[in-house]
A and B are shown apart, each in its own frame.
Chain A
């Protein structure tokens, strides 16, 4: 992995809340354009890691380098605007579907029209463009949130359990959209999921987190067929009860 292929390089990254270590990662490198899934039990620090990678909060210690540039504290706006997160619970504004999707473009002073219409068609919500976004179903709202994230064409798309509360139809639809966007745009995707089958379907590499630490990181086939760490084996087999 050369420096130019690396979009994130994390070294000695720690995050503490009230004396409790939530993230403690010695080394993690994420490649441009890859789809990386992070799996693990609740409380493993996966969502916190995503917030750190989105530069929404600073680490307690350690460093995160983004495209070779070490970020200290707050990342510059130009960097933050290359990265976005779709959270487990879609948080939409009190406006129409169209206005919600266009929101990120408006923040950047960019005009909406064509790109918003394209994304609405891609997520299957063209007919709901003028509808009040908060009146949609849960799956539809999450598709709005995904369209809102993709319309700004981020270099990095962080997904924090985006399909946790959705039905199989919406899960499949969202996975297809994410996969397609990754292939067409080369967007780096980091997916936090409890669904190991989803990780298997989507990811190039899978990382297992436990107690804030990255226990194992391997290509998807190796991760599921011959994991190196017994804790990973137990998790993949469903033996890890928590």
Chain B
């Protein structure tokens, strides 16, 4: 039986047995990416919606910055956050480096352009005639904006799901700012790197299966929502 097959068998045993070490990694991954997603959503959706609804002159420049942000390499983000949070950095006093807070910070920077950029696109894709019709029916400004956002809701949810898929599977940023410390900052992606290097293939494969499952669920949800949007 080769490494892969042995690893697959042992991975199944680890997952089914509810191994505490495995679950600690899974839960930390979900906590870090979950918190980062919530923060990115609270910031990104209103900003994206405002950009989608507005006609400010700087919108083109802001859009270009957002699209650039979507393509930021996670390891570069990690490097930036590391330098900011290191002892000699401007925010070193926070003492966040090599803690989940630093990981959340890095993932917020990765997720925010995705959430705001895709939200902006979703809002812009709402029929422009809808705003005129809604105003004609007697909507206040707030009601008009709310109606547009409601029409763009599926696109906004797709934005959030896409951001989740992106941050749960990145390794560069969390490795740099988290340090992959057992029991403290070790998440799915950094654990896979470590266990592969140390030959612990069964654990690496188990983690990989779980990460794949999470990414698959996120992408399946996104496709389902996009399908709902197209049907309507």
From A13-21, A79-87, A161-169, give the one contacting chain B.
A79-87
B232 and A148: CB pair below 8 A? no
* B183 sits at the interface (CB 8 A): no
Task: Write out the residue numbers on chain B whose beta carbons fall within 8 Å of the beta carbon of A103.
Answer: 137
Task: Write out the residue numbers on chain A whose beta carbons fall within 8 Å of the beta carbon of B136.
Answer: 54, 56, 83-85, 87, 158
Contact A87-B133, Cβ < 8 Å, known A77-B138, A77-B140? yes
The digit string for B125-169, where 1 denotes a CB below 8 A from any CB of A, is 001011011011111100100010011000000000000000000
- Least CB separation from B144: chain A residue: A107
Count residues of chain B with CB under 8 A from any CB of chain A. 16
A91 and B127: CB pair below 8 A? yes
* A231 sits at the interface (CB 8 A): no
B151 and A94: CB pair below 8 A? yes
Within 8 A of B (CB), among A130-170: 132, 134, 148-149, 152, 158
Contact A108-B138, Cβ < 8 Å, known A87-B129, A94-B151? yes
Partner of B138, one of A51, A84, A132: A84
- B139 → chain A, closest Cβ, in Å? 5
- A82 → chain B, closest Cβ, in Å? 8
For A83, A94, A108, the residue with the greatest tally of chain B CB atoms inside 10 Å of its CB is A94
Task: Write out the residue numbers on chain B whose beta carbons fall within 8 Å of the beta carbon of A56.
Answer: 132, 135-136
B138 and A89: CB pair below 8 A? no
B138 and A81: CB pair below 8 A? yes
* A93 sits at the interface (CB 8 A): yes
B137 and A107: CB pair below 8 A? yes
For B135, B137, B139, B151, the residue with the greatest tally of chain A CB atoms inside 10 Å of its CB is B137
Partner of A104, one of B132, B137, B151: B137
Task: Write out the residue numbers on chain B whose beta carbons fall within 8 Å of the beta carbon of A91.
Answer: 127, 129-130, 132-133
Measured in the bound complex, the distance between the Cα atoms of B232 and A149 in whole Å is 22
For A77, A91, A132, the residue with the greatest tally of chain B CB atoms inside 10 Å of its CB is A91
A107 and B135: CB pair below 8 A? no
Task: Write out the residue numbers on chain A whose beta carbons fall within 8 Å of the beta carbon of B232.
Answer: 94, 132, 134
Task: Write out the residue numbers on chain B whose beta carbons fall within 8 Å of the beta carbon of A104.
Answer: 137-138
A152 and B138: CB pair below 8 A? yes
- B127 → chain A, closest Cβ, in Å? 6
- Least CB separation from A93: chain B residue: B151
Task: Write out the residue numbers on chain A whose beta carbons fall within 8 Å of the beta carbon of B151.
Answer: 93-94
B130 and A107: CB pair below 8 A? no
B133 and A107: CB pair below 8 A? no
Measured in the bound complex, the distance between the Cα atoms of B150 and A149 in whole Å is 20
Task: Write out the residue numbers on chain A whose beta carbons fall within 8 Å of the beta carbon of B132.
Answer: 51, 56, 87, 91
Task: Write out the residue numbers on chain B whose beta carbons fall within 8 Å of the beta carbon of A158.
Answer: 136
- B197 → chain A, closest Cβ, in Å? 50
The digit string for A69-102, where 1 denotes a CB below 8 A from any CB of B, is 0000000010011011101010101100000000
Measured in the bound complex, the distance between the Cα atoms of B132 and A55 in whole Å is 11
Q: Which 3 pairs show the lowest CB-CB distances between chains A and B? A: A81-B138, A91-B133, A85-B136
- Cross-chain pairs A/B with CB under 8 angstroms, 25 sampled: A56-B132, A56-B135, A77-B138, A80-B138, A81-B138, A83-B136, A84-B138, A85-B136, A87-B129, A89-B129, A91-B127, A91-B129, A91-B132, A91-B133, A93-B147, A94-B151, A94-B232, A103-B137, A104-B138, A107-B137, A107-B138, A107-B143, A148-B137, A149-B137, A152-B138
Q: Which A residues contact B (CB, under 8 angstroms)?
A: 51, 54, 56, 77, 80-81, 83-85, 87, 89, 91, 93-94, 103-104, 107-108, 132, 134, 148-149, 152, 158
Q: Which B residues contact A (CB, under 8 angstroms)?
A: 127, 129-130, 132-133, 135-140, 143, 147, 150-151, 232
